[in-house]
Structure 1
Amino acid sequence: MKNEKAVVVFSGGQDSTTCLFWALEQFQEVLAVTFDYGQRHAQEIDHAKRIAETLGVTLQVLDLGLINQLSANALTRDSITVTGQTDGLPSTFVPGRNLLFLSFAAIYADAFGARHLVTGVSETDFSGYPDCRDTFIRSLNVTLNLAMDKQFIIHTPLMWLDKAGVWELSDELGALKFVQTETLTCYNGVAASGCGTCPACVLRNDGLAKYLGEKAGDES
Structure 2
Amino acid sequence: MKHLITSALAILTLAGCSSATTPLRQASSLTEYSGGYADDSKTALYWLTQRVNSPETSSDSVTFKDKTWYKSHYVWGDNNLQEIIRTGERLTSTDKLVPYQMTLRFSGNGEAVYQRLRLNGKVIPMDKTQIDEVKQQANDLVSTGKVQQKQGVELIQGYWERGVFMTCEGRAFNNIELKEKLPTVVINRLKDEENFAAFVGEYQSKKIVVDKLLILKHGNVDCIEKPNFKS
How would you bin the TM-score normalised by the shorter chain?
Answer: under 0.3
- The structure whose residues are more often strand, as a share, is 2
Task: State TM-score, norm by structure 1.
Answer: 0.23
- The structure whose residues are more often helix, as a share, is 1
Tell which structure's C-alpha radius of gyration is larger: 2
